[in-house]
């Protein structure tokens, strides 16, 4: 259905509201217009409790506030993006905004305004409810009649425990507000950035200041609070259910394509969460050797492997990131098992190296060593192993790093300082993946023929604890034997 279909072109009336995005007017009679203004119940919700995340978001804002005394900090949620013509991509709020507010609505902007004494006041500029008195409610494509009821500003203030204002006043407010050092998280709201470009004189200094804000936020997000860990647990639990769904659906998938696997997992993501946290990789047979295989349009053949890399994103936008490589018929062949067990051994070594105080790189190096040793033993690489590792020769078959931080983004905290992340040390509260793999391209003549076209990755989500680590996805079978047992239970 398009907006235009609701207009009554035969009405004798004059245009009452602004043109639509595509320039077509919608005409309404005065009688209809007057009638649409009246007869609506008061649905305002009063005395709402703050959302569960509100006290955690307040603490996160306090930590950020202490880093930038006296400065105005602007963190937008983002805007809808056009997909084609008048259709838009599903909205997904920007992570830093969600982290600092707990809000996931579109078009919001958090302003942390420095207080006279110390600290900051949090002002959430939000899209208010649609007015029923000027046609906005039912004639505008973004009116509530079309896109659903929003929280009123008063409701949002109670739910988020912050002051709220109408986002349509933000540009004027920024222009009139005292000129003080201001930073914005870029890339989400071109309108806000344009206003700031008018107000900030030195573009280069502004760019540096903004980059510093982004880095600081990603540094801060490296350590998850207990509420975030709880959300990751929920994301992983839903993901585990999604993998069960996929195994049960394998017979139908064999009759159709990888899309059936993708769709089966997606249903779980939509029912138990918000969405998938990234494009599902449902890669059967040799497609598993393509790291970001997301076309998912290949066949599922008995006897081959299915590499499924998928994660449910919770309604609060935390995501899991889990991979299992499954024998489609339920049993590994000897060659598949050989590859699988080497990857499993590498993952075990990686997980064992996840502990507070260890270099972040340690678990990658532990996994790579096991893989390199195996590849030398199999004669694919010429030893000694130290030489292989020094030259990185194993990477022809291991291809990618052994993991990354996990949280609101699947590749979380990507802008954190190198010293705190890639060259840093693990600390309790970090959440990350451990995901070694081996990939033998179908046309790789350096590989024995029987291994060509085999791709295996095993990926689990791990939280660093004061004692060591917890594997959040431990409920999903991991050894070759356990995978076969699990599949035998679920397959008809």
Helix axes 258-272, 226-255, angle to 10 degrees: 150
Q: Which of the listed partners (ligand GLY, Mn ion, none) does 96 bind, with a CB threshold of 5 to 8 Å by partner kind?
A: none
- Calpha distance 202→206 (Å, rounded): 6
CA trace torsion 294, 296, 298, 301 (10° rounding): 110
CB of 461 to Mn ion, least distance (A): 9
- Nearer to ligand GLY among residue 320 and residue 328 (C-beta): 320
Q: For the CA atoms of 209, 213, 214, 217, what is the dihedral angle to 10 degrees?
A: 170
Q: Is 91 buried (19+), middle (13-18) or exposed (0-12) by CB count in 10 A?
A: middle
Please give the Cα distance from 184 to 196 (Å, whole number).
8
For Mn ion, which residue has the nearest CB?
309
Q: Calculate the CA 441 to chain-centre distance.
A: 29
Residue 309 interacts with ligand GLY (CB under 6 A)? Answer: yes
Contact between 103 and ligand GLY per CB under 6 A:
no
- Which is nearest to 325 in space by CA: 486, 459, 448, 474? 459
**292, 439 contact by CB (below 8 A):** no
Based on CB atoms, which residue is closest to ligand GLY, 145 or 399? 399
**Shortest reach from residue 325's CB to ligand GLY, in Å:** 13
Residue 325 CB, nearest approach to Mn ion (Å): 12
* Nearest-approach distance from CB 457 to Mn ion, in angstroms: 8
Nearer to ligand GLY, 140 or 239 (CB): 239
CA distance 170 to 72: 13
The H-or-E segment that residue 172 falls in is helix 170-176
Is residue 278 a contact residue for ligand GLY (CB under 6 A)? yes
Q: Which of 228, 234, 321, 409 binds ligand GLY (CB under 6 A)?
A: 321
CA 330, 335, 341, 346 torsion: positive or negative?
negative
Binding status of residue 313 toward ligand GLY by CB under 6 A? no
459 binds ligand GLY (CB under 6 A): yes
**Encoded tokens for 383:** 């030893």
Tell me the two tokens of residue 284.
């059967």
Out of 219, 228, 435, 460, name the contact with ligand GLY by CB under 6 A. Answer: 435
User: Binders of ligand GLY: how many residues, by CB under 6 A?
Assistant: 7
Does 106 sit near ligand GLY (CB under 6 A)? no
Residue nearest ligand GLY, CB atom distance: 309
**Of ligand GLY, Mn ion, none, which one does residue 278 interact with (CB within 5 to 8 Å by kind)?**
ligand GLY
Q: Quick one: what does residue 91 bind among ligand GLY, Mn ion, none, with the CB cut-off 5 to 8 Å set by partner type?
A: none
Residues at the contact surface with ligand GLY, assessed by CB under 6 A: 278, 309, 321, 404, 410, 435, 459
């Amino acid at each position: 259905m398009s907006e235009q279909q609701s207009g009554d072109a035969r009405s004798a009336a004059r245009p009452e509201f602004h043109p639509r995005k595509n320039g077509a007017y919608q005409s309404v009679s005065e009688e209809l217009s007057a009638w649409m203004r009246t007869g609506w119940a008061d649905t305002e919700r009063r005395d709402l409790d703050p959302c569960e995340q509100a006290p955690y978001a307040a603490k996160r804002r306090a930590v950020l506030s202490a880093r930038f005394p006296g400065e105005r900090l602007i963190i937008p949620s983002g805007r809808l993006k056009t997909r084609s013509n008048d259709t838009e991509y599903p909205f997904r709020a920007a992570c830093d905004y969600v982290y600092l507010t707990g809000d996931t609505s579109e078009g919001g902007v958090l302003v942390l305004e420095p207080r006279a004494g110390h600290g900051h006041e949090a002002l959430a500029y939000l899209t208010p409810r649609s007015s029923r008195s000027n046609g906005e409610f039912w004639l505008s494509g973004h009116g509530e009649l079309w896109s659903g009821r929003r929280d009123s500003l008063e409701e949002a203030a109670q739910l988020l425990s912050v002051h709220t204002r109408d986002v349509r006043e933000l540009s004027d407010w920024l222009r009139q507000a005292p000129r003080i050092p201001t930073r914005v998280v870029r890339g989400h709201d071109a309108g806000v950035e344009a206003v700031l470009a008018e107000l900030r004189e030195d573009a280069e200094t502004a760019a540096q200041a903004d980059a510093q804000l982004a880095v600081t936020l990603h540094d801060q997000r490296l350590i998850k609070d207990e509420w975030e860990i709880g959300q990751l647990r929920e994301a992983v639990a839903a993901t585990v259910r999604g993998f069960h769904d996929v195994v049960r659906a394998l017979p139908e998938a064999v009759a159709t394509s990888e899309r059936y696997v993708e769709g089966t997992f997606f249903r779980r993501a939509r029912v138990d969460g918000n969405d998938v946290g990234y494009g599902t990789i449902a890669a059967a047979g040799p497609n598993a050797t393509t790291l970001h295989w997301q076309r998912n349009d290949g066949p599922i053949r008995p006897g081959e492997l299915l590499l499924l890399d998928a994660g449910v994103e919770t309604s609060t936008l935390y995501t899991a990131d889990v991979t299992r490589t499954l024998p489609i018929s339920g049993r590994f062949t000897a060659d598949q098992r050989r590859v699988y067990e080497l990857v499993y051994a590498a993952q075990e070594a990686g997980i064992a190296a996840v502990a507070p105080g260890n270099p972040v790189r340690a678990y990658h190096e532990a996994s790579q060593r096991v893989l390199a040793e195996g590849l030398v033993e199999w004669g694919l690489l010429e030893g000694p192993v130290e030489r292989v590792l020094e030259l990185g020769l194993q990477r022809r078959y291991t291809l990618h790093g052994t993991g990354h931080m996990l949280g609101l983004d699947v590749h979380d905290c990507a802008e954190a300082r190198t010293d705190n992340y890639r060259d840093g040390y693990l600390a309790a509260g970090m959440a990350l993946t451990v995901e070694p793999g081996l990939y033998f391209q179908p046309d790789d003549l350096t590989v024995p023929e029987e291994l060509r076209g085999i791709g295996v990755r095993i990926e689990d989500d791990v939280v660093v604890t004061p004692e060591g680590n917890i594997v959040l996805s431990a409920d999903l079978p991991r050894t070759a034997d356990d995978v076969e047992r699990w599949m035998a239970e679920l397959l008809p």
